[in-house]
Amino acid sequence: MTRTADVVIIGGGVTGASLAFHLASGGVKGVVLLERNFLAAGGTGRSVGVIRQLYPSPETCRMVLHSLRVFQNFPEAVGGDSGYVGCGALIGVSPAMLPSLERSLEIQREVGIRAEVLPPSELARLEPRIDPSGLGAVLHEPESGYGDPTAVTLGYATAARDRGVVIEQGVAVIGIQVDAGRVKGVVTQTGERIDSRVVVNAAGLWAGAVAVLAGVTLPIVVGRHPVFVVKRGATFGPPHVVYLDLAGGTYVRPETGDLTLTGSLVEDETRHPMDPELLGSEAGFEEAAETLERTSRAIPALADAHYQQGYAGAFDITPDWMPILDESPVCGFYIAAGMSGHGFKLAPAVGQLMAELITGGRTTVNRAPFALDRFAAARRGASFVGSFLGSG
């Protein structure tokens, strides 16, 4: 059986759904999104959903600000609910990180992000439960917070369907047809062929495997990032803000039901490559104990919290911890992957940029920092913390 499409998107996570919406909103007909499992079954459904706006480049700052505005106005901009909670975010840095933070703040301000650098003593006013010792400064982003990645995916998918996109779940792509350096279409696990001159790899943690089907190698490592859920004690008081402790290597974000999601910010993910099929499996007690110890150093009142569960998450990580948003060397085969732990908060802007790229329009954001060939020239000093502050 063979049919045709104008664009085939592989992957129904937040990236694929956002792209489907943006293509259809731009008037592209014949968009088919294929998801091997169900919408948001991949990294998206396991995401912590933090929206912070500290990024080291004007491009990423613009993209995250655009995305924040979409999350804030999701019912009007897309439809549905993004689950955005603007509780504010605090980002603690060591004294050595302060110069980089100040440079990043300048970029934030230039693009219109609301943020201020404060001395650690200001924590007494903003969030007295954070331990200021060891911090050189704190960045306060009053509009940051968190959202619901699954709800955002479903919102985009519903709006995309309303605009004519065909979304098929339970359909895995097992082959990508290429002829004379140009993509021709895909083959699904039922043996069906869908001919298309444009195929987009939005397969998240599986993007490397999907690229290989077209003979393309992506510099992406799937690195383990476990998440732990604790229930705050009765004496904790009102929910805390989102706190990212770059100095101490931990983060917390509040959840309903007196819960807190926490994990590591020690950027050891690339040292722990993970089979993406293990996504969601139970995390070990040892790794939980290690992270929770750091968390309770950052917020001592969380030392009384009760451990609820831990699960294995993973990031699709590129060498510079920034996404690949580009056409591959196979003409018509596009890559929107390697989100490196940023894929939720950037998803609205990523969908827009990819739709602009595919339709041949001028991209709103300079896309050079996301080009696939940037890895040809080796970059040094890239890291997850670098994705907040830059490397210099």
Ligand X SMILES: Cc1cc2nc3c(=O)[nH]c(=O)nc-3n(C[C@H](O)[C@H](O)[C@H](O)COP(=O)(O)OP(=O)(O)OC[C@H]3O[C@@H](n4cnc5c(N)ncnc54)[C@H](O)[C@@H]3O)c2cc1C
Site residues for ligand X per CB under 6 A: 10-16, 34-37, 41-44, 46-50, 149, 172-173, 202-206, 210, 225, 227, 313-315, 339, 341-345
Q: Which residues contact 197 (CB under 8 A, 6 or more apart)?
A: 6, 182, 183, 184, 332
- Chain CA centroid to CA 19, Å: 14
CB closer to ligand X, 120 vs 310: 310
CB closer to ligand X, 65 vs 120: 65
- Structure tokens, 379: 């970059």
CB of 380 to ligand X, least distance (A): 24
CB closer to ligand X, 100 vs 264: 264
User: 203-226: buried (b, 16+ CB within 10 Å) or exposed (e) per residue?
Assistant: bbbbbbebbebbebebebbbbbbb
- Contact (Cβ atoms closer than 8 angstroms) between residue 71 and residue 348: yes
CB atoms within 10 A of CB 309: 12
CB closer to ligand X, 89 vs 120: 89
Q: Which residues contact 208 (CB under 8 A, 6 or more apart)?
A: 217, 218, 220, 222, 316, 337
- Structure tokens, 244: 């990212």
Separation of alpha carbons 182 and 193, rounded Å: 16
CB of 51 to ligand X, least distance (A): 7
CB closer to ligand X, 158 vs 233: 158
CB of 133 to ligand X, least distance (A): 26
3-class SS of residue 95: helix
CB closer to ligand X, 120 vs 221: 221
CB of 302 to ligand X, least distance (A): 18
CB of 107 to ligand X, least distance (A): 18
CB of 202 to ligand X, least distance (A): 6
